[in-house]
Amino acid sequence: MTPPPALDPALLTPLQREAQEPAMTRPSLSYWADAWRQLRANRQAMASLMLILMLVVFSTLGPVIWNVDPSSQDLDQVGIAPGADRSVTLWQPYRPWSGPSDSLQYSADTLHQLTLATSANTQAVRLAWVQQQDASAYRVYRNLYPVSEVGSLGLPLATLKTDSFEDRLDLSPTRYYYSIVGLNSEGQEVGTPSTIAVEVRRVITVENARARGLLGQDEAAEIGDRINLALHPLGTDYLGRDMLARLMHGGRVSLFIGLFAPLGFMLLGIVYGSVAGFIGGNVDQLLMRFADFVVALPFLLFMILLKVLFGIGPGESGIWPMLLAMVILLWPAPARLVRGQILQLREQGYVDASRLLGTPTAYLIGRHMLPNTLGVILVTLTFQVPGAIFTEAFLSFIGMGVAPPTPSWGAMCNEGIKSMLTRPHEILFPALLISATVLAFNLLGDGLRDALDARMRGSDSA
Amino acid sequence: MWKYTFKRIVLGLVTIWFIATATFFAMHSVPGDPLSSDKATSERIRANLEAKYGLDQPLLSQYFIYLGNLAKGDLGISFTQENRSVNDIIREHFPISATLGILALAFAALGGILWGALTALYRNRWPDTVIMLLVILGISAPSFVVAAFSQYGIVNLNMWAGTNILPVGGWGSVGHMLIPAAVLGLSTMAYLTRLMRSSMLEVVNTDYVRTATAKGLPPALIFTRHQLRNAMLPVITVLGPAIAGITTGGFVVEIVFAIPGLGRFFVEAVQQLDYTVIMGTTVFYGAFLVGMVILVDIVYGVIDPRVRVDQ
Amino acid sequence: MSSSPLLSVRDLRVDFAAHGGRVQAVRGVSLDVHRGQTLAIVGESGCGKSVTVQSLMGLIPTPPGRIHGGSATLMGHDLLASKMIDGQDIRGRLVSMIFQDPMSSLNPTMNIGDQIAETLQVHKGLSHADAFRRAIELLDMSKIPEAGRRAKQYPFEFSGGMLQRAMIAMSIACEPAILIADEPTTALDVTIQAQILDLLKELQAETGMAIVLITHDLGVVARMADRVLVMYAGEIVEQGSVDDIFYRSAHPYTLGLRRAMPSNDPQMSQSLLAIEGSPPDLFDPPKGCGYHPRCEHAMQACLESPPAYGLDPGHSSRCWLHHEQTSQRPDALYFQSSQGADHDPLG
């Protein structure tokens, strides 16, 4: 063995200690401060929290800024997509039409027998055609899509004997395909149909434009001038109602139910569960058995009953019965949870210790029991919000939720699904908002759970 | 085990009685008493109803008549459809809902266990991240939205292919079942995946898995015998609520895909305020769910010896 | 020791990723385990004793754990290199382990017999029936009454002591050369503790296996051990025979441990003395000797890591007080009479 190295004698003098013990390297934090630190470090959860705040602002302050009545119909713009052209041409008032004037000339060699008599606009589309020898009558069709060889001609508008037709049926500013077919004396279609494409222009009378505030009362206006219709940033629904306003007002319903229903049944459940857990014994057994029964009760039936009990008729909103039904039927789950927690806490050493020191029950509950269940309750509450929003949407979807015309996101989805193929924006926006809200609450709940879970908290210092 | 099963069944019967009672009195507490009112559409139905429910008798006797009918398995007759009993309606439409539900549940449970175990094994690596992202999206989209958009997808698929690869709605062939069952099971699967993942992560860190490793068992054996089996226990406990969720979720899917199941029929009855059908179907659904919960409990008992042996 | 060791560990280093850095749990541990010997590793909680043996068994979760230095050889197998491939042949067969908490260390959904049998099925290729029969014999050997009936029961039907017996039965199933017992009696009642220790001793006498005993209880050490390693802050501070440690403590920490233990030794003071301060946070271990912040004899030199000073054959201490130039010679500590006469086998 090599002899031990010689040491500088100075090193063998007693150690000069620093004034104090070396402090613990990591600062200790209180439970909630630490939970908040962890939550803040969770980017997903913080983004979700921001999103939730934005949604709340959207539906509370939104209607103040975007002050549009969610139930007023803009019949000039029904079911338009966001960003659609909203220009409109000023036009003279409608005058009846009795067919093309004689001065109109048809060239005999026109490929299309069917002709547009005047310019086509949303007041009317006027069609004229050359009489056929073998036809005793004609049928006029209108289609939104090009008429193919095999495809149908579209909506039959009229069967008539004249050689002209005026279409005033629910015209939109778009391209229509009109066809006529001759009919023989038995009413059967004969010969090949003749089809033209017609571009329909949106028009409005000066009087109407003034009435709707699109033109100032004193503003000069000429026929043929182009002005803009009311703005609908997210388009309109199938009744011409502003989507943005409906989404804002609908958010009030959805978020109100989503936040307050869980708050209500959680509170009831906390009281019920802590009473059961605290008293224990037979009372506890009895209370919990009752909770088991309530869980088994069918939810829909009680929704209907409360709707009838509250006398909710058409035009009245069903928010309160829905809220009440959820509170009445959904409290057992949090009650079980809280009872379990209380039973567990009662066995904890520090509770026993505190009890032995003569702590009053109220203090015991307030100081030891509640703070230690609060985390679990908070996390559960966060996770109940998506459930409540889904329930509202589901009930509105099957027509058992808020009554029209009150908008809610679920009800809007229900209306939008019918015209999904032609106007996807009507279901897309409410569906996106529901999903975003639920997603935000789920992610926030995840973050809260991670931040509050004591076992998780210990794990990074193992 | 037998004692445990017997106890659960007795408790289940009491629960069904409670549901039936609550349903009966709730229906009769509605102002104007829907059963005795003039809402019944025809004279003959009214006459039938009166005979069936003893509407001219006091409430308590009516209750006992109702319970007696229930005990015989007679759920009553329709309010709006002449000569049609609730039993007939259930017999005709429930098998369809049940088929759809079983498919959806199988899809959800197998998928949930598989994805959950997979994400736990690949914790914080890309398969975990991708699957958990899909899961959180699956949980966040309401079932009717998923149903609507998947139907939209089928329409486009058929248009692209030029033929009908999958039917857009209706019922009959396997093709009719696939997409609706997947849509119906989707959110449950997402939920079970999350549950299975966290349960699996907990099990992976338990002492008994450490023991199994220390014993020198091969990883596959540790996974199947010691991890999967224990991690599945919480998944089984939530199968009861999952079945309830799939049952109500089925209402929406049946409506969107035009499937003639009991759920769609129930929603129609609700919209038409066909009270007897609502009552009968409600009690039936209640009893069905109670039965399912008991079944799940028994299955749980088979898997977890702690439940099986004590009590 | 003349025979070559069964297990030989040199300069083992393990750390864990933690919030904002790495916790250095084991900082250069070397040890030898010989056939039939009981080696005790003693220290406070968090000193790295459990991590040391768990990393040898491949039980450290990686990440966050990491073995970043050293070597370990078990009967010719490189434990650290072949952890994943050969590990299954070694774990449970050549070396097995029992844990602190028997209640949570057994699978709650499998009966006891099956849990023992599966080891035999995997390592010895026995059929399930044979393995189960053998499991009952092993339970019987571990003094579990009515072993045949008990084998079909589940962990929740056992008491803690009975479960630890079952764990022992499981661990000796394949007649391992080394049994690692990680605080085997900490979770048990005192009366049960003694029974379990006696059982271990008895089985050791029967099978000739070596035992590595991890404990913080010097009473258990005195009862069981042949050789003792004292660990502090991830390092071995003193090692020697059980007599060396108890009668010739050469490290201030060992002395501190002994003073904290009830004793009827007239040489020791009557009242129990706690060691002032708390163990260091291995997130940022003290410079030099890990014990110096709590040591009453600390010198400037202690800011450097001390070498291991060999005192007697097999007895060494890592403390600057044993340097020949040191003038401080506290009475309670043991010092070698003639300097440099022996060498420390582990250097």
Q: What is the CATH number for B172? A: 1.10.3720.10
In a domain, B155, yes or no: yes
Residue range(s) in chain A whose domain bears CATH number 2.60.40.10: 90-205
Given a contact as 3+ CB pairs under 8 Å, which chains touch A?
B, C
How high is the pLDDT of residue C341? 45
Boundary-marking domain end, from B71, B103, B124 = B71
Domain count, chain B: 2
In a domain, B81, yes or no: no
Domain residues for the domain of B14 are: 2-71
Q: Please say whether the structural domain A90-205 has been given the CATH code 3.40.50.980.
A: no
Three-state secondary-structure class, residue B176 = helix
How high is the pLDDT of residue A53? 92
What is the phi-psi region of residue C125: left when phi exceeds 0, alpha when psi lies from -120 to 50, beta otherwise? left
Question: Residue A198: enclosing H or E segment and its boundaries?
Answer: strand A189-199
- How many CA atoms lie within 13 Å of A437's alpha carbon, on the beta-carbon side? 31
Mean pLDDT computed over B255-281:
82
The residue with tokens 């109702």 is B66
The C-alpha atoms of residue C276 and residue C159 are separated, in whole angstroms, by 37
The yes-or-no verdict on residue C46 having pLDDT over 90 is no
Q: Please say whether the structural domain A46-70+239-461 has been given the CATH code 1.10.3720.10.
A: yes
How high is the pLDDT of residue A54? 92
Biggest distance spanned by C-alpha atoms of chain C: 69
Give the amino acid at B224.
T
Mean pLDDT computed over C134-152:
89
Residues of A within 8 A of B273 (CB-CB) are 304
The C-alpha atoms of residue B21 and residue B31 are separated, in whole angstroms, by 18
Q: Which residue has the higher pLDDT, A148 or C206?
A: C206
The C-alpha atoms of residue A79 and residue A102 are separated, in whole angstroms, by 39
The C-alpha atoms of residue C174 and residue A215 are separated, in whole angstroms, by 96
Q: Nearest-CA distance from C19 to chain A in Å?
A: 6
Boundary-marking domain end, from B10, B37, B71 = B71
**Rounded CA Rg of chain C:** 21
In a domain, B202, yes or no: yes
Mean pLDDT computed over A35-45:
82
Kindly give, in sequence order, each residue whose CB lies less than 8 Å from that of residue C20, ignoring residues fewer than 6 positions away.
none
Whether residue B211 is found in the same domain as residue B151: yes
pLDDT tens for each residue of A238-272:
777 888 888 888 888 889 989 999 999 999 998 89
The residue with tokens 């966040």 is B140
pLDDT tens for each residue of C260-279:
877 666 665 566 777 777 77
In this complex, do B136 and A427 lie within 8 Å of one another by their Cβ atoms?
no
Q: Nearest-CA distance from B2 to chain A in Å?
A: 21
CB C24 within 8 A of CB A25: no
Residue B28 has a CB neighbour count (10 Å cut-off) of 15
Find, in chain A, the residue whose alpha carbon is nearest to that of C319.
A12
Whether residue B48 is found in the same domain as residue B138: no
Question: Which of B7, B14, B25, B140 to mutate to test binding with chain A, by most A CBs within 10 Å of its CB?
Answer: B140
Three-state secondary-structure class, residue C299 = strand
How high is the pLDDT of residue C83? 54
In a domain, B98, yes or no: yes
Mean pLDDT computed over C192-206:
88
Q: Which of C97, C111, C156 sits opposite B214 (nearest CB)?
A: C97
Length of chain C measured in residues: 347
Range from A167-181, A262-276, C100-114 carrying the lowest mean pLDDT: A167-181
Residue range(s) in chain A whose domain bears CATH number 1.10.3720.10: 46-70+239-461
How high is the pLDDT of residue C1? 46
How high is the pLDDT of residue B43? 67
Q: Nearest-CA distance from A15 to chain C in Å?
A: 4
In a domain, B78, yes or no: no
CA B206 to chain CA centroid, Å, is: 33
Whether residue B121 is found in the same domain as residue B9: no
CB A285 within 8 A of CB A336: no
Q: How confident is the model at residue B108 (pLDDT cuts 50, 70, 90)?
A: very high
> Model-level pTM?
0.76
Q: Nearest-CA distance from A38 to chain C in Å?
A: 12
Q: For the sheet with C65-74, list strands across it.
A: C21-33, C7-18, C65-74, C77-78
Tokens of A71: 């139930």
Mean pLDDT computed over C221-248:
88
How high is the pLDDT of residue A62? 83
Mean pLDDT computed over A115-130:
80
Q: Is the dihedral of CA C282, C287, C289, C292 positive or negative?
A: negative
The yes-or-no verdict on residue C234 having pLDDT over 90 is no
Whether residue B103 is found in the same domain as residue B247: yes
Whether residue B49 is found in the same domain as residue B125: no
Tokens of C300: 């400037």
How high is the pLDDT of residue A262? 92
Mean pLDDT computed over B284-294:
86
Q: Which residue has the higher pLDDT, B114 or A127?
A: B114
Residues of chain A with pLDDT > 90, as a percent, come to 4
pLDDT tens for each residue of A276-318:
888 878 888 888 888 888 887 777 667 766 766 666 554 456 7
Q: Which residues in C have their CB inside 8 Å of a CB on A? A: 16, 18-19, 23, 64, 277, 281, 283-284, 286, 292-293, 297-304, 307, 309-310, 320, 323-328, 340, 343
Whether residue B12 is found in the same domain as residue B97: no
How high is the pLDDT of residue B299? 82
Mean pLDDT computed over C282-299:
79
The yes-or-no verdict on residue A462 having pLDDT over 60 is no
In this complex, do C156 and B306 lie within 8 Å of one another by their Cβ atoms?
yes
How high is the pLDDT of residue A2? 46
Q: Is the dihedral of CA C151, C153, C156, C159 positive or negative?
A: negative
C239 to each of C29, C32, C242, C253, how far by Cα in Å?
A: 11, 11, 9, 12
Q: Which of B151, B152, B285 sits opposite A298 (nearest CB)?
A: B285
Find, in chain B, the residue whose alpha carbon is nearest to that of A296.
B286
DSSP letter at A58 equals H
The separation between the first and the last C-alpha atoms of chain A, rounded to the nearest angstrom, is 40
pLDDT tens for each residue of B14-60:
888 888 888 888 777 765 555 555 555 566 666 766 666 666 677 78
Find, in chain B, the residue whose alpha carbon is nearest to that of C179.
B214
Whether residue B148 is found in the same domain as residue B106: yes
Q: Is the dihedral of CA A326, A332, A336, A339 positive or negative?
A: positive
Q: Nearest-CA distance from B267 to chain A in Å?
A: 7
Whether residue B53 is found in the same domain as residue B187: no
**Torsion of Cα atoms, A435 then A440 then A446 then A448, to 10°:** -150
Q: Quick one: which of B77, B111, B148, B102 has its CA closest to B261?
A: B102
Range from A222-236, B157-171, C193-207, C332-346 carrying the lowest mean pLDDT: C332-346
Mean of the per-residue pLDDT values for chain A?
78
Tokens of A147: 């008429």
In this complex, do A25 and C281 lie within 8 Å of one another by their Cβ atoms?
yes
DSSP letter at A365 equals I
How high is the pLDDT of residue C264? 63
pLDDT tens for each residue of B225-239:
898 888 888 888 888
Find, in chain A, the residue whose alpha carbon is nearest to that of C346.
A1
Question: Residue A116: enclosing H or E segment and its boundaries?
Answer: strand A114-116
Whether residue B111 is found in the same domain as residue B31: no
Mean pLDDT computed over C208-215:
90
In a domain, B129, yes or no: yes
In this complex, do B306 and C108 lie within 8 Å of one another by their Cβ atoms?
yes
Mean pLDDT computed over C120-131:
88
Q: Which of A7, A13, A460 sits opposite C19 (nearest CB)?
A: A460
In a domain, B185, yes or no: yes
Residues of B within 8 A of A308 (CB-CB) are 30-31, 34
The separation between the first and the last C-alpha atoms of chain B, rounded to the nearest angstrom, is 9
How high is the pLDDT of residue B30? 66
CB C49 within 8 A of CB C307: no
Residue A262 has a CB neighbour count (10 Å cut-off) of 26
Q: Is the dihedral of CA C54, C56, C58, C62 positive or negative?
A: positive
The C-alpha atoms of residue B134 and residue B153 are separated, in whole angstroms, by 18
Q: Which of A3, A21, A26 sits opposite C277 (nearest CB)?
A: A21
Whether residue B19 is found in the same domain as residue B97: no
Q: Quick one: which of A253, A255, A257, A266 has its CA closest to A381?
A: A266
Q: How confident is the model at residue A454 (pLDDT cuts 50, 70, 90)?
A: very low
Q: Which of C59, C119, C122 sits opposite B210 (nearest CB)?
A: C59
Q: Nearest-CA distance from A20 to chain C in Å?
A: 10
Given a contact as 3+ CB pairs under 8 Å, which chains touch C?
A, B
How high is the pLDDT of residue C211? 92
Q: Does B125 touch chain C (CB under 8 A)?
A: no
Find, in chain C, the residue whose alpha carbon is nearest to that of B210.
C59
How high is the pLDDT of residue C89? 73
pLDDT tens for each residue of B212-224:
888 888 888 888 8
Q: Nearest-CA distance from C227 to chain B in Å?
A: 24
Residues of C within 8 A of B211 (CB-CB) are 97, 99, 105-107, 167, 170
Whether residue B27 is found in the same domain as residue B167: no
Whether residue B152 is found in the same domain as residue B203: yes
How high is the pLDDT of residue C117? 92
Kindly give, in sequence order, each residue whose CB lies less than 8 Å from that of residue B64, ignoring residues fewer than 6 positions away.
none
HEC per residue, B245-291? HHHHHHHHHHHHCCCCCHHHHHHHHHHCCCHHHHHHHHHHHHHHHHH
Q: How confident is the model at residue C41 (pLDDT cuts 50, 70, 90)?
A: very high
**Do the strands A155-160 and A137-143 form a parallel or antiparallel pair, or are they unpaired?**
antiparallel
CA B27 to chain CA centroid, Å, is: 24
In this complex, do C118 and B216 lie within 8 Å of one another by their Cβ atoms?
no
In this complex, do A442 and B15 lie within 8 Å of one another by their Cβ atoms?
no
Question: Residue C312: enclosing H or E segment and its boundaries?
Answer: strand C309-312
A191 phi, psi to nearest 5 deg: 70, 175
Q: Quick one: which of A153, A205, A146, A201 has its CA closest to A174?
A: A201
